[in-house]
Chains A and B, each alone.
Chain A
């Protein structure tokens, strides 16, 4: 097969034809010439394969674009993405949309619902227990047993409250602080813990958490600089929670 009206069209002319940018005489030629039409189709196929396979092939992934936006990329990639953005309208548009998306939905979370209680999700049986006063000891009468670690170190021995719940006893002392007469501390000792059982002590007032501390290896815990008032003490372990309410400091 040969061109019917030589000279045959050049490949540049045929590429322009494929793009819809050919002159009228080129269009007229191809309509009549099967040879040039066949060459145009072959070129279109080759170009089409490249266009399909290379569609956005050099674009950073959406995640990398986002990491660029959040300034999380290493310097080398940051530069590469920045350079890409100077030429790629698609990515520029995506990153603009992302910017708006993160701005609008930045974690203010005001209306998001929460999940079910995690206690069940971890497959553990959780107990929430309220401890009650079972005894009151004067400072002078407590010398023989285990007592809160710092009790007796600050001034006169204080009255100590013994709370009981389950198999545990919690001894609480509330000594005044030497240089701040209105303020007191809470010294606590948990008796009956199993070996390795760990607890965290939290102090609440009016349902707002004030302080958190770890129960140490001697099973003691300390809160300091407390203004007089009613507090709730919560001792949280891996599988149980013990509450002491209306603790009058």
Chain B
């Protein structure tokens, strides 16, 4: 077997050929040497060698497809496997730079990370879908029955993009006056807990539901009067 230092000097075509052979041996549950495939990943990620990345994509696409199809949320996603496969590789490509590569000493750790990226893109999809669904439930306007309108405020479903949401969240937090207010906002809106649930789950922080409503009212009132936020939060916006 070559020393690892020898691997670094082998031509790419040799390394990828050996990677393919060793993978086949692996699939046949025979003894194999995973270092060649690790070396291809290294050249793709650390050296940004296009042919190495192209090989990684080709070599492991069938495996990623199998991971996609076996994910619990895939069947209900309404997407083709190829949609998630492409995004899984993109995610790995963008998330795993040369500076992180040292955290992946062997092929198994790299494949596990690729598997994680596969799961992540599917869960990203699930979260986005659930968010839209959540927003749509709040947007239902029971105009024919005003008694049912509370809690269904007739909001247009217009979700800010992720960066805007984070910026908005930061701006709102800056308007809060205490750590308790920040915690309450987090529990109520980021975790979507009702005041009574907040008291049940965090009794040391919030023992009294009336106090929770009182604090919440103060927060909403202050934010509603804030010149920068007023337009966004106003019903007339």
Binding site for B on A (CB under 8 A): 10-12, 14-21, 30-31, 37, 40-59, 61-63, 66-67, 69-70, 72, 87-90, 94, 97-98, 101-102, 104-107, 109-119, 121-122, 124, 126, 198, 200, 208-209, 211-214, 236-239, 241
- Knowing that A54-B190, A198-B9 touch, tell me 4 more A-B residue pairs with CB under 8 angstroms: A58-B186, A107-B107, A122-B51, A241-B17
Q: Contacting B169 at CB < 8 Å: which of A43, A54, A101? A: A54
Q: Please, which residue of chain B has its CB at the minimum distance from the CB of A198? A: B11
Contacts of A107 in B (CB 8 A): 107-108, 111-112, 115
30 A–B contact pairs at CB < 8 A? A12-B213, A15-B213, A19-B195, A21-B209, A41-B149, A41-B153, A45-B233, A48-B151, A48-B153, A54-B190, A55-B189, A58-B169, A62-B119, A62-B120, A63-B116, A69-B116, A70-B112, A87-B201, A104-B70, A105-B67, A109-B26, A111-B27, A114-B27, A114-B59, A115-B58, A121-B55, A122-B55, A124-B13, A198-B11, A214-B2
User: Once the chains bind, are A239 and B165 in contact (CB under 8 Å)?
Assistant: no
User: Once the chains bind, are B13 and A238 in contact (CB under 8 Å)?
Assistant: yes
* Least Cβ–Cβ distance between B21 and chain A, in angstroms: 8
User: Once the chains bind, are B14 and A238 in contact (CB under 8 Å)?
Assistant: yes
User: Once the chains bind, are A51 and B191 in contact (CB under 8 Å)?
Assistant: no
User: Once the chains bind, are B27 and A12 in contact (CB under 8 Å)?
Assistant: no
* Least Cβ–Cβ distance between A105 and chain B, in angstroms: 6
Contacts of B224 in A (CB 8 A): 46
User: Once the chains bind, are B151 and A19 in contact (CB under 8 Å)?
Assistant: yes
Contacts of B152 in A (CB 8 A): 44
- Beyond A88-B191, A109-B26, A110-B29, is A212–B16 a contact (Cβ under 8 Å)? no
Binding site for A on B (CB under 8 A): 1-2, 6, 9-14, 16-20, 23-24, 26-27, 29-31, 33, 51, 54-55, 58-63, 66-67, 70-72, 91, 95, 100, 103, 107-108, 111-113, 115-117, 119-121, 123-124, 127, 131, 134-135, 138, 146-147, 149-155, 157, 159-160, 165-166, 168-169, 172, 185-192, 194-196, 201, 209-210, 213-214, 216-217, 220-221, 223-224, 232-235
Contacts of A59 in B (CB 8 A): 190
* Least Cβ–Cβ distance between B175 and chain A, in angstroms: 12
Q: Please, which residue of chain B has its CB at the minimum distance from the CB of A12? A: B213
* Least Cβ–Cβ distance between B200 and chain A, in angstroms: 13
Bound CA span A100–B83, Å: 23
Bound CA span A29–B29, Å: 74
User: Once the chains bind, are B62 and A112 in contact (CB under 8 Å)?
Assistant: yes
User: Once the chains bind, are B2 and A213 in contact (CB under 8 Å)?
Assistant: yes
* Least Cβ–Cβ distance between B29 and chain A, in angstroms: 6
Contacts of A44 in B (CB 8 A): 149-153
A-B CB proximity, top 10 nearest: A62-B123, A54-B189, A45-B153, A44-B153, A66-B116, A62-B120, A12-B213, A107-B111, A11-B217, A45-B235
Bound CA span A238–B11, Å: 6
User: Once the chains bind, are B194 and A21 in contact (CB under 8 Å)?
Assistant: yes
